[in-house]
Amino acid sequence: MAQRCVCLLALAATLLLVFPTVSRSMGLKSKEHQRASRIPSQFSKEERVAMKEALKVFPTVVSTSFIQHEVVEEYSHLFTIQGSDPSLQPYLLMAHFDVVPAPEEGWEVPPFSALERDGVIYGRGTLDDKNSVMALLQALELLLIRKYIPQRSFFISLGHDEESSGTGAQKISALLQSRGVQLAFIVDKGGFILDDFIPNFKKPIALIAVSEKGSMNLMLQVNMTSGHSSAPPKETSIGILAAAISRLEQTPMPIIFGSGTVVTVLRQVANEMNVIPPVAQATVNFRIHPEQTVQEVVELTKNIVADNRVQFHVLSAFDPLPISPYDDKALGYQLLRQTVQSVFPEVNITVPVTSVGNTDSRFFTNLTTGIYRFYPIYIQPEDFKRIHGVNEKISVQAYETQVKFIFELIQNADTDQEPVSHLHKL
Ligand SMILES: *[C@@H]1O[C@H](CO)[C@@H](O)[C@H](O)[C@H]1NC(C)=O
Ligand SMILES: *[C@@H]1O[C@H](CO)[C@@H](O)[C@H](O)[C@H]1NC(C)=O
Ligand SMILES: *[C@@H]1O[C@H](CO)[C@@H](O)[C@H](O)[C@H]1NC(C)=O
Ligand SMILES: [Zn+2]
Protein backbone atom coordinates (compact mmCIF):
# COMPACT_ATOMS: atom_id res chain seq x y z
CA MET A 1 0.00 0.00 0.00
CA ALA A 2 2.40 2.73 -1.11
CA GLN A 3 0.59 6.01 -1.48
CA ARG A 4 -2.26 3.53 -1.42
CA CYS A 5 -2.08 2.41 2.16
CA VAL A 6 -5.22 1.34 3.93
CA CYS A 7 -4.30 3.23 6.99
CA LEU A 8 -2.31 6.19 5.85
CA LEU A 9 -2.84 9.15 3.66
CA ALA A 10 -6.44 10.15 3.71
CA LEU A 11 -5.13 13.21 2.00
CA ALA A 12 -1.58 13.79 0.94
CA ALA A 13 -0.34 16.79 -0.91
CA THR A 14 2.84 17.98 -2.41
CA LEU A 15 3.77 21.37 -3.63
CA LEU A 16 6.03 22.04 -6.49
CA LEU A 17 7.13 25.41 -7.68
CA VAL A 18 8.16 25.40 -11.27
CA PHE A 19 11.06 27.58 -12.26
CA PRO A 20 12.78 27.61 -15.60
CA THR A 21 14.97 24.61 -15.08
CA VAL A 22 18.40 23.98 -16.40
CA SER A 23 18.81 20.29 -16.77
CA ARG A 24 22.19 19.32 -15.56
CA SER A 25 23.38 15.91 -16.45
CA MET A 26 24.93 14.30 -13.43
CA GLY A 27 26.73 11.78 -15.63
CA LEU A 28 27.35 8.63 -13.57
CA LYS A 29 31.05 8.36 -13.17
CA SER A 30 31.65 4.68 -13.29
CA LYS A 31 34.92 4.35 -11.49
CA GLU A 32 35.92 0.87 -10.59
CA HIS A 33 35.86 0.42 -6.85
CA GLN A 34 38.72 -1.69 -5.68
CA ARG A 35 38.22 -3.54 -2.45
CA ALA A 36 40.81 -2.53 0.09
CA SER A 37 40.75 -6.04 1.49
CA ARG A 38 39.05 -9.25 0.54
CA ILE A 39 36.39 -10.69 2.83
CA PRO A 40 37.33 -14.26 3.61
CA SER A 41 34.73 -16.89 2.82
CA GLN A 42 34.57 -18.31 6.31
CA PHE A 43 31.18 -18.82 7.92
CA SER A 44 30.19 -19.35 11.50
CA LYS A 45 28.34 -22.41 12.70
CA GLU A 46 25.15 -20.34 13.02
CA GLU A 47 25.52 -19.01 9.49
CA ARG A 48 25.97 -22.51 8.16
CA VAL A 49 22.84 -23.68 9.97
CA ALA A 50 20.93 -20.68 8.58
CA MET A 51 22.17 -21.51 5.08
CA LYS A 52 20.97 -25.06 5.30
CA GLU A 53 17.64 -24.04 6.79
CA ALA A 54 17.04 -21.45 4.07
CA LEU A 55 17.37 -24.22 1.48
CA LYS A 56 14.53 -26.04 3.15
CA VAL A 57 11.95 -23.31 3.24
CA PHE A 58 8.59 -24.60 2.01
CA PRO A 59 10.05 -27.70 0.31
CA THR A 60 6.68 -29.42 0.13
CA VAL A 61 4.95 -26.49 -1.56
CA VAL A 62 7.47 -26.51 -4.40
CA SER A 63 7.67 -30.30 -4.78
CA THR A 64 4.01 -31.30 -4.65
CA SER A 65 2.72 -32.77 -7.89
CA PHE A 66 -0.64 -30.98 -7.81
CA ILE A 67 0.94 -27.55 -7.31
CA GLN A 68 2.21 -25.58 -10.26
CA HIS A 69 4.60 -22.68 -9.63
CA GLU A 70 5.09 -19.95 -12.20
CA VAL A 71 7.16 -16.79 -12.15
CA VAL A 72 5.25 -13.97 -13.79
CA GLU A 73 6.57 -10.56 -14.94
CA GLU A 74 10.04 -11.68 -13.82
CA TYR A 75 9.48 -11.36 -10.06
CA SER A 76 5.87 -12.17 -9.13
CA HIS A 77 4.78 -15.68 -8.26
CA LEU A 78 1.66 -17.64 -9.08
CA PHE A 79 0.92 -21.00 -7.45
CA THR A 80 -1.90 -23.12 -8.85
CA ILE A 81 -3.11 -25.71 -6.38
CA GLN A 82 -5.20 -28.30 -8.16
CA GLY A 83 -8.17 -29.51 -6.14
CA SER A 84 -9.69 -32.98 -6.42
CA ASP A 85 -13.20 -31.73 -7.24
CA PRO A 86 -13.28 -29.81 -10.53
CA SER A 87 -16.94 -28.89 -9.99
CA LEU A 88 -15.94 -26.44 -7.25
CA GLN A 89 -15.06 -22.96 -8.48
CA PRO A 90 -11.49 -22.00 -7.50
CA TYR A 91 -10.51 -19.04 -5.34
CA LEU A 92 -7.44 -16.86 -4.98
CA LEU A 93 -5.38 -15.83 -1.97
CA MET A 94 -3.01 -12.93 -2.51
CA ALA A 95 -0.24 -10.91 -0.90
CA HIS A 96 2.78 -8.84 -1.93
CA PHE A 97 6.40 -8.97 -0.91
CA ASP A 98 7.66 -5.55 -1.98
CA VAL A 99 7.85 -2.86 0.69
CA VAL A 100 8.11 0.91 0.90
CA PRO A 101 11.53 2.37 1.76
CA ALA A 102 12.64 2.46 5.39
CA PRO A 103 15.29 5.03 6.29
CA GLU A 104 17.01 3.88 9.50
CA GLU A 105 16.23 7.03 11.45
CA GLY A 106 13.80 6.49 14.31
CA TRP A 107 13.88 2.68 14.24
CA GLU A 108 14.59 0.81 17.44
CA VAL A 109 16.32 -1.90 15.39
CA PRO A 110 17.68 -1.75 11.82
CA PRO A 111 14.54 -1.84 9.63
CA PHE A 112 15.65 -4.82 7.58
CA SER A 113 17.07 -6.86 10.45
CA ALA A 114 13.83 -8.63 11.41
CA LEU A 115 15.17 -8.64 14.98
CA GLU A 116 13.00 -10.27 17.56
CA ARG A 117 12.53 -8.60 20.92
CA ASP A 118 10.24 -9.83 23.68
CA GLY A 119 8.22 -11.94 21.29
CA VAL A 120 7.89 -9.20 18.70
CA ILE A 121 9.56 -9.15 15.27
CA TYR A 122 10.54 -5.71 14.04
CA GLY A 123 11.12 -4.83 10.43
CA ARG A 124 9.79 -3.26 7.27
CA GLY A 125 7.14 -5.52 5.82
CA THR A 126 6.24 -7.33 9.05
CA LEU A 127 2.67 -5.98 8.75
CA ASP A 128 2.63 -4.94 5.10
CA ASP A 129 2.81 -7.49 3.63
CA LYS A 130 5.66 -10.00 3.93
CA ASN A 131 3.80 -11.47 6.90
CA SER A 132 0.99 -12.50 4.54
CA VAL A 133 3.37 -13.86 1.88
CA MET A 134 5.08 -16.08 4.43
CA ALA A 135 1.89 -17.03 6.26
CA LEU A 136 0.26 -18.19 3.01
CA LEU A 137 3.18 -20.43 2.05
CA GLN A 138 3.68 -21.58 5.63
CA ALA A 139 0.03 -22.55 6.08
CA LEU A 140 0.08 -24.44 2.79
CA GLU A 141 3.34 -26.19 3.72
CA LEU A 142 1.91 -27.28 7.08
CA LEU A 143 -1.23 -28.60 5.39
CA LEU A 144 0.76 -30.52 2.78
CA ILE A 145 3.01 -32.08 5.42
CA ARG A 146 -0.21 -33.42 6.95
CA LYS A 147 -1.11 -34.99 3.59
CA TYR A 148 -3.81 -32.46 2.83
CA ILE A 149 -5.33 -32.60 -0.63
CA PRO A 150 -7.73 -29.75 -1.37
CA GLN A 151 -11.09 -30.44 -2.94
CA ARG A 152 -11.48 -26.90 -4.25
CA SER A 153 -8.65 -25.62 -6.45
CA PHE A 154 -7.06 -22.35 -5.49
CA PHE A 155 -4.36 -19.92 -6.51
CA ILE A 156 -1.79 -18.01 -4.50
CA SER A 157 -0.62 -14.79 -6.12
CA LEU A 158 2.43 -13.00 -4.69
CA GLY A 159 3.00 -9.61 -6.28
CA HIS A 160 6.35 -7.85 -6.41
CA ASP A 161 5.29 -4.23 -6.96
CA GLU A 162 2.04 -3.59 -5.13
CA GLU A 163 3.46 -0.47 -3.51
CA SER A 164 4.02 1.11 -6.90
CA SER A 165 2.36 0.04 -10.13
CA GLY A 166 1.11 -3.49 -9.50
CA THR A 167 2.35 -4.78 -12.86
CA GLY A 168 2.97 -8.23 -11.40
CA ALA A 169 -0.63 -8.59 -10.26
CA GLN A 170 -1.89 -7.17 -13.56
CA LYS A 171 0.04 -9.83 -15.48
CA ILE A 172 -1.22 -12.58 -13.19
CA SER A 173 -4.79 -11.35 -13.66
CA ALA A 174 -4.32 -11.30 -17.44
CA LEU A 175 -2.81 -14.79 -17.36
CA LEU A 176 -5.74 -16.21 -15.39
CA GLN A 177 -8.18 -14.46 -17.73
CA SER A 178 -6.42 -15.92 -20.75
CA ARG A 179 -6.92 -19.37 -19.21
CA GLY A 180 -10.64 -18.75 -18.83
CA VAL A 181 -10.50 -18.84 -15.03
CA GLN A 182 -13.44 -17.49 -13.04
CA LEU A 183 -12.97 -17.21 -9.30
CA ALA A 184 -15.46 -17.84 -6.49
CA PHE A 185 -13.72 -15.14 -4.43
CA ILE A 186 -10.42 -13.45 -3.63
CA VAL A 187 -8.86 -12.71 -0.23
CA ASP A 188 -6.20 -10.00 -0.08
CA LYS A 189 -4.90 -7.87 2.76
CA GLY A 190 -6.97 -4.96 4.06
CA GLY A 191 -9.38 -5.01 6.99
CA PHE A 192 -8.37 -6.31 10.42
CA ILE A 193 -9.57 -6.91 13.94
CA LEU A 194 -10.03 -3.88 16.16
CA ASP A 195 -10.40 -3.90 19.91
CA ASP A 196 -12.11 -1.19 21.88
CA PHE A 197 -13.14 0.47 18.66
CA ILE A 198 -16.67 1.49 19.50
CA PRO A 199 -16.97 3.55 22.71
CA ASN A 200 -18.50 1.57 25.59
CA PHE A 201 -18.35 -1.60 23.55
CA LYS A 202 -15.55 -3.77 24.80
CA LYS A 203 -15.85 -6.60 22.29
CA PRO A 204 -13.41 -6.78 19.40
CA ILE A 205 -14.82 -6.55 15.90
CA ALA A 206 -13.57 -7.92 12.59
CA LEU A 207 -13.61 -5.49 9.66
CA ILE A 208 -13.73 -7.10 6.23
CA ALA A 209 -13.23 -4.61 3.41
CA VAL A 210 -15.73 -5.29 0.62
CA SER A 211 -14.72 -2.28 -1.47
CA GLU A 212 -11.84 0.14 -1.93
CA LYS A 213 -11.96 3.85 -2.41
CA GLY A 214 -10.78 5.12 -5.76
CA SER A 215 -7.80 7.36 -6.01
CA MET A 216 -6.79 10.42 -7.99
CA ASN A 217 -3.73 12.64 -8.11
CA LEU A 218 -4.98 15.97 -9.37
CA MET A 219 -2.50 18.70 -10.18
CA LEU A 220 -3.66 22.27 -9.75
CA GLN A 221 -1.58 24.80 -11.63
CA VAL A 222 -1.57 28.55 -11.86
CA ASN A 223 0.57 29.98 -14.66
CA MET A 224 0.88 33.76 -14.44
CA THR A 225 3.04 34.04 -17.53
CA SER A 226 0.16 33.02 -19.72
CA GLY A 227 -1.55 36.27 -20.47
CA HIS A 228 -3.15 37.29 -17.18
CA SER A 229 -1.75 40.77 -17.45
CA SER A 230 -5.02 42.12 -16.16
CA ALA A 231 -4.44 40.47 -12.80
CA PRO A 232 -3.64 42.96 -10.08
CA PRO A 233 0.07 42.86 -9.27
CA LYS A 234 -0.65 41.78 -5.71
CA GLU A 235 -2.00 38.49 -6.95
CA THR A 236 0.75 35.99 -7.34
CA SER A 237 0.51 32.48 -8.73
CA ILE A 238 1.12 31.04 -5.31
CA GLY A 239 -1.48 33.28 -3.70
CA ILE A 240 -4.11 32.21 -6.21
CA LEU A 241 -3.19 28.58 -5.74
CA ALA A 242 -3.23 28.89 -1.93
CA ALA A 243 -6.71 30.38 -2.10
CA ALA A 244 -7.89 27.53 -4.34
CA ILE A 245 -6.52 24.89 -1.99
CA SER A 246 -7.98 26.70 0.96
CA ARG A 247 -11.43 26.62 -0.64
CA LEU A 248 -11.05 22.88 -1.16
CA GLU A 249 -10.07 22.38 2.43
CA GLN A 250 -12.90 24.43 3.79
CA THR A 251 -15.49 22.50 1.86
CA PRO A 252 -17.38 20.34 4.30
CA MET A 253 -16.97 17.14 2.35
CA PRO A 254 -15.25 14.70 4.63
CA ILE A 255 -16.00 11.91 2.18
CA ILE A 256 -13.52 13.33 -0.26
CA PHE A 257 -11.21 15.59 1.64
CA GLY A 258 -9.13 15.00 4.69
CA SER A 259 -7.92 17.89 6.74
CA GLY A 260 -5.07 20.21 7.12
CA THR A 261 -1.89 19.57 5.35
CA VAL A 262 -2.16 21.17 1.95
CA VAL A 263 -2.54 24.79 2.84
CA THR A 264 0.06 24.55 5.58
CA VAL A 265 2.66 23.36 3.13
CA LEU A 266 1.78 26.11 0.69
CA ARG A 267 2.02 28.92 3.22
CA GLN A 268 5.27 27.76 4.66
CA VAL A 269 6.88 27.63 1.30
CA ALA A 270 5.41 30.97 0.32
CA ASN A 271 6.88 32.65 3.40
CA GLU A 272 10.34 31.39 2.63
CA MET A 273 10.27 32.47 -0.97
CA ASN A 274 11.97 35.70 -1.96
CA VAL A 275 11.37 35.28 -5.65
CA ILE A 276 7.80 35.09 -6.89
CA PRO A 277 7.48 32.07 -9.16
CA PRO A 278 5.46 32.57 -12.34
CA VAL A 279 4.03 29.08 -12.08
CA ALA A 280 2.77 27.37 -8.96
CA GLN A 281 1.52 23.81 -8.70
CA ALA A 282 0.04 21.65 -6.02
CA THR A 283 -0.79 17.98 -6.35
CA VAL A 284 -3.70 16.80 -4.27
CA ASN A 285 -4.38 13.14 -3.64
CA PHE A 286 -8.07 12.31 -3.43
CA ARG A 287 -9.62 9.15 -2.10
CA ILE A 288 -12.86 8.55 -3.91
CA HIS A 289 -15.83 7.07 -2.15
CA PRO A 290 -17.53 4.07 -3.85
CA GLU A 291 -20.55 6.23 -4.55
CA GLN A 292 -18.56 8.69 -6.66
CA THR A 293 -16.49 8.58 -9.81
CA VAL A 294 -13.21 10.24 -10.73
CA GLN A 295 -15.03 12.47 -13.21
CA GLU A 296 -17.53 13.63 -10.60
CA VAL A 297 -14.76 14.53 -8.18
CA VAL A 298 -12.93 16.52 -10.87
CA GLU A 299 -16.10 18.48 -11.67
CA LEU A 300 -16.81 19.04 -7.99
CA THR A 301 -13.29 20.28 -7.41
CA LYS A 302 -13.52 22.72 -10.33
CA ASN A 303 -16.79 24.06 -8.96
CA ILE A 304 -15.39 24.54 -5.49
CA VAL A 305 -12.22 26.27 -6.71
CA ALA A 306 -14.30 28.43 -9.07
CA ASP A 307 -11.32 30.29 -10.49
CA ASN A 308 -10.53 29.88 -14.17
CA ARG A 309 -6.92 30.87 -13.66
CA VAL A 310 -6.43 27.51 -11.99
CA GLN A 311 -5.80 24.67 -14.42
CA PHE A 312 -6.55 21.05 -13.54
CA HIS A 313 -4.51 18.09 -14.71
CA VAL A 314 -5.39 14.55 -13.71
CA LEU A 315 -2.01 12.88 -13.25
CA SER A 316 -3.36 9.44 -12.40
CA ALA A 317 -6.73 8.13 -11.36
CA PHE A 318 -8.95 5.14 -11.00
CA ASP A 319 -12.54 4.70 -9.94
CA PRO A 320 -13.58 3.09 -6.65
CA LEU A 321 -13.93 -0.69 -6.63
CA PRO A 322 -17.38 -2.28 -6.85
CA ILE A 323 -18.88 -3.42 -3.56
CA SER A 324 -18.48 -7.19 -3.15
CA PRO A 325 -21.48 -9.14 -1.85
CA TYR A 326 -21.60 -9.77 1.90
CA ASP A 327 -25.00 -11.39 2.30
CA ASP A 328 -25.76 -14.93 3.50
CA LYS A 329 -25.03 -16.35 0.04
CA ALA A 330 -21.66 -14.66 -0.44
CA LEU A 331 -19.26 -17.60 -0.20
CA GLY A 332 -16.01 -15.67 0.35
CA TYR A 333 -17.49 -13.38 2.97
CA GLN A 334 -19.17 -16.19 4.86
CA LEU A 335 -16.02 -18.35 4.80
CA LEU A 336 -14.08 -15.45 6.31
CA ARG A 337 -16.78 -14.99 8.96
CA GLN A 338 -16.79 -18.67 9.78
CA THR A 339 -13.00 -18.74 10.06
CA VAL A 340 -12.97 -15.62 12.24
CA GLN A 341 -15.45 -17.32 14.54
CA SER A 342 -13.32 -20.43 14.92
CA VAL A 343 -9.90 -18.76 15.20
CA PHE A 344 -11.03 -15.71 17.19
CA PRO A 345 -13.97 -16.96 19.29
CA GLU A 346 -13.95 -13.70 21.25
CA VAL A 347 -14.82 -11.76 18.08
CA ASN A 348 -18.51 -12.11 17.52
CA ILE A 349 -19.12 -9.19 15.19
CA THR A 350 -17.95 -9.01 11.58
CA VAL A 351 -18.56 -5.79 9.69
CA PRO A 352 -18.19 -5.03 5.96
CA VAL A 353 -16.23 -1.82 5.40
CA THR A 354 -14.67 0.22 2.59
CA SER A 355 -10.89 0.30 2.53
CA VAL A 356 -9.26 3.71 2.23
CA GLY A 357 -6.22 2.34 0.45
CA ASN A 358 -5.82 0.08 -2.53
CA THR A 359 -4.37 -3.34 -3.08
CA ASP A 360 -3.33 -5.49 -6.02
CA SER A 361 -6.77 -7.13 -5.91
CA ARG A 362 -8.20 -4.16 -7.82
CA PHE A 363 -6.80 -5.70 -11.01
CA PHE A 364 -8.95 -8.80 -10.61
CA THR A 365 -12.47 -7.43 -11.01
CA ASN A 366 -12.88 -9.32 -14.30
CA LEU A 367 -12.38 -12.61 -12.47
CA THR A 368 -14.88 -12.35 -9.63
CA THR A 369 -17.41 -10.09 -7.92
CA GLY A 370 -16.27 -11.26 -4.48
CA ILE A 371 -13.06 -9.44 -3.47
CA TYR A 372 -12.41 -9.33 0.28
CA ARG A 373 -9.55 -7.65 2.07
CA PHE A 374 -8.79 -8.90 5.53
CA TYR A 375 -5.82 -9.36 7.85
CA PRO A 376 -6.56 -11.90 10.59
CA ILE A 377 -4.62 -9.72 13.01
CA TYR A 378 -5.44 -7.42 15.92
CA ILE A 379 -4.37 -3.94 14.95
CA GLN A 380 -3.85 -1.23 17.58
CA PRO A 381 -4.15 2.45 16.73
CA GLU A 382 -0.35 2.87 16.92
CA ASP A 383 0.11 0.10 14.35
CA PHE A 384 -1.49 2.32 11.72
CA LYS A 385 1.45 4.70 12.03
CA ARG A 386 3.93 1.84 11.90
CA ILE A 387 2.74 0.55 8.53
CA HIS A 388 4.87 2.60 6.11
CA GLY A 389 6.30 4.30 9.23
CA VAL A 390 9.00 3.47 11.76
CA ASN A 391 9.13 0.40 13.98
CA GLU A 392 6.73 -1.72 11.94
CA LYS A 393 6.35 -4.94 13.90
CA ILE A 394 4.33 -8.07 14.45
CA SER A 395 4.22 -10.32 17.48
CA VAL A 396 5.24 -13.93 16.94
CA GLN A 397 1.89 -14.91 18.35
CA ALA A 398 -0.02 -12.72 15.86
CA TYR A 399 1.97 -14.24 13.02
CA GLU A 400 1.25 -17.76 14.22
CA THR A 401 -2.43 -16.89 14.42
CA GLN A 402 -2.31 -15.56 10.86
CA VAL A 403 -0.86 -18.91 9.72
CA LYS A 404 -3.57 -20.73 11.68
CA PHE A 405 -6.27 -18.58 10.11
CA ILE A 406 -5.12 -19.36 6.56
CA PHE A 407 -4.71 -23.03 7.49
CA GLU A 408 -8.35 -23.07 8.61
CA LEU A 409 -9.64 -20.91 5.77
CA ILE A 410 -8.19 -23.20 3.09
CA GLN A 411 -9.90 -26.19 4.66
CA ASN A 412 -13.16 -24.32 5.19
CA ALA A 413 -13.15 -23.46 1.48
CA ASP A 414 -13.48 -27.16 0.65
CA THR A 415 -17.19 -26.93 1.33
CA ASP A 416 -19.45 -27.93 -1.52
CA GLN A 417 -22.39 -26.36 0.23
CA GLU A 418 -23.92 -22.99 -0.32
CA PRO A 419 -23.24 -20.76 2.66
CA VAL A 420 -25.99 -21.29 5.22
CA SER A 421 -27.78 -18.60 7.11
CA HIS A 422 -27.04 -19.89 10.60
CA LEU A 423 -23.61 -18.32 10.13
CA HIS A 424 -25.40 -15.04 10.17
CA LYS A 425 -25.70 -14.32 13.86
CA LEU A 426 -26.12 -10.56 13.84
C1 LIG B 1 3.04 28.97 -18.78
O2 LIG B 1 2.50 29.70 -19.85
C3 LIG B 1 3.46 30.11 -20.81
C4 LIG B 1 2.76 31.04 -21.81
O5 LIG B 1 1.57 30.45 -22.30
C6 LIG B 1 4.04 28.87 -21.47
O7 LIG B 1 5.01 29.22 -22.41
C8 LIG B 1 4.64 28.01 -20.40
O9 LIG B 1 5.09 26.78 -20.97
C10 LIG B 1 3.65 27.69 -19.31
N11 LIG B 1 4.33 26.95 -18.24
C12 LIG B 1 3.88 25.79 -17.78
C13 LIG B 1 4.72 25.18 -16.69
O14 LIG B 1 2.88 25.26 -18.17
C1 LIG C 1 -11.40 -6.90 -18.30
O2 LIG C 1 -11.93 -7.45 -19.49
C3 LIG C 1 -12.11 -6.51 -20.54
C4 LIG C 1 -12.85 -7.22 -21.67
O5 LIG C 1 -12.17 -8.37 -22.05
C6 LIG C 1 -10.75 -5.99 -20.95
O7 LIG C 1 -10.87 -5.03 -21.97
C8 LIG C 1 -10.08 -5.33 -19.75
O9 LIG C 1 -8.76 -4.92 -20.07
C10 LIG C 1 -10.02 -6.30 -18.58
N11 LIG C 1 -9.56 -5.55 -17.41
C12 LIG C 1 -8.60 -6.02 -16.59
C13 LIG C 1 -8.23 -5.15 -15.45
O14 LIG C 1 -8.05 -7.09 -16.73
C1 LIG D 1 -21.26 -11.07 21.64
O2 LIG D 1 -20.77 -11.38 22.93
C3 LIG D 1 -21.43 -10.72 23.99
C4 LIG D 1 -20.74 -11.05 25.27
O5 LIG D 1 -20.21 -12.34 25.26
C6 LIG D 1 -22.91 -11.12 23.99
O7 LIG D 1 -23.60 -10.41 25.01
C8 LIG D 1 -23.51 -10.77 22.64
O9 LIG D 1 -24.85 -11.21 22.59
C10 LIG D 1 -22.72 -11.42 21.53
N11 LIG D 1 -23.25 -10.95 20.27
C12 LIG D 1 -23.49 -11.76 19.27
C13 LIG D 1 -23.99 -11.11 18.04
O14 LIG D 1 -23.33 -12.96 19.30
ZN1 LIG E 1 1.79 -0.67 1.84
* 98 among known catalytic residues: yes
- Give the Cα separation of 261 and 241 in Å (integer): 14
Atom of ligand 1 at shortest distance to CA of 278? 1
pLDDT of residue 298 exceeding 60, the answer is yes
Q: State whether residue 252 is helix, strand or coil.
A: coil
Question: Phi, psi (5° rounding) for residue 26?
Answer: -80, -10
Ligand nearest to the CA of 227: 1
- pTM for the model stands at 0.78
State the chain's mean pLDDT as an integer. 83
Q: What is the distance of C-alpha 415 from the center of its chain?
A: 29
pLDDT at residue 426, as a whole number: 41
Please, which pLDDT band fits residue 3 given cuts at 50, 70 and 90?
very low
Is residue 162 among the annotated active site residues?
yes
Q: How confident is the model at residue 72 (pLDDT cuts 50, 70, 90)?
A: very high
Q: Is residue 228 within 6 Å of ligand 3 at its C-beta?
A: no
Beta-carbon neighbours within 5 Å of ion ligand 4: 1, 5, 128
**Residues with Cβ < 8 Å from 90, sequence gap 6 or more?**
83, 152, 153, 154, 155, 181, 183, 184
**What is residue 277's predicted lDDT score, i.e. its pLDDT?**
65
Lowest-pLDDT choice from 70-79, 128-137, 286-295, 412-421:
412-421
**What separation, in Å, do the N-terminal and C-terminal C-alpha atoms of the chain show?**
31
Tens of pLDDT, residue by residue over 339-381, are 999 999 999 889 899 888 889 999 999 999 999 999 999 988 8
pLDDT tops 70 at residue 263:
no
Q: Is the CB of 48 under 6 A from ligand 3?
A: no
* Residue 204, Cβ density class (10 Å: 0-12 exposed, 13-18 middle, ≥19 buried): middle
H or E element that contains 313: strand 310-318
Helices 237-250 & 261-272 angle (0-180, nearest 10): 160
Q: Which residues line ligand 2 (CB under 6 A)?
A: 173-174, 363, 366
Look at residue 55 in the predicted model and tell me its pLDDT.
74
Determine the distance separating the centroid of ligand 4 and the alpha carbon of 387, expressed in angstroms.
7
pLDDT at 68: 97
Mean pLDDT for the stretch of residues 107-116: 93
**pLDDT tens for residues 6-16?**
333 222 233 33
Q: Which ligand is nearest to the CA of 367?
A: 2
The predicted structure's pLDDT at residue 420: 54
Q: Can you tell me the mean pLDDT for 247-260? A: 58
Flag whether pLDDT at 334 surpasses 60. yes
Residue 236, helix vs strand vs coil = coil
pLDDT tens per residue across span 4-57: 433 332 222 333 333 333 333 333 444 445 556 787 778 888 888 777 777 788
Q: Is 425 in the pocket of ligand 3 (CB under 6 A)?
A: yes
Q: In this predicted model, which residue has the larger pLDDT, 378 or 263?
A: 378
Predicted pLDDT of residue 29: 43
Distance of CA 259 from the midpoint of ligand 2 (Å): 36
User: What per-residue confidence (pLDDT) applies to 364?
Assistant: 98
Query: pLDDT tier at 231 (50, 70, 90 boundaries)?
Result: low
Structural contact between residues 58 and 137, judged by C-beta atoms closer than 8 angstroms: yes
Per-residue pLDDT at 7:
32
